[in-house]
Amino acid sequence: MSSLLANRYVNENYIQAIKDSTVSNGPYYILAPGVAMPHARPECGALKTGMSLTLLRQDVQFTDEDDGIKLLIGLSAADSDSHIGAIQALSELLCEEDILAALLAAESEKDLADIIARA
């Protein structure tokens, strides 16, 4: 999310909205084992539509039930529709077990980009 903030895709309010929503609703944005896509509503501070990939050095565990998150996919949607195609493509990618395993085994953000480009 820091790259979305640094590149002015979101403002600080957006980050706070994600934190507040996580406290209120739990980590609703876990997409697959090891993968989460934190996001908030467009009116919470999304300035432009974009995505970011963050490979965590250490897994982050949100609940006792999850296995720990290694890959964060930051999402900023400036409106309710513009990001739908990207989410559909991402969902298809994460449904492929070999691609998901490769993403979670990646050791650098270049590795992530290469895996996605090959898929």
What is the C-alpha to C-alpha distance for residues 60 and 23, in angstroms, rounded to an integer?
15
Range of the domain at 101: 2-118
Q: Which residues are catalytic?
A: 39
* Prediction pTM value: 0.83
Starting from the edge strand earliest in sequence, which strands make up the sheet with 50-60, in order?
Answer: 30-32, 35-36, 69-76, 50-60
66 with 27: CB under 8 angstroms? yes
DSSP states of 21-53 as a string? HHHHH--TTEEETTEE-----GGGTB-S-EEEE
Could you report the per-residue pLDDT of 6-50, keeping only the tens digit for each? 999 999 999 999 999 999 999 988 988 899 999 999 999 999 999
Structural domains in the chain (count): 1
What CATH number is given to the structural domain containing 16? 3.40.930.10
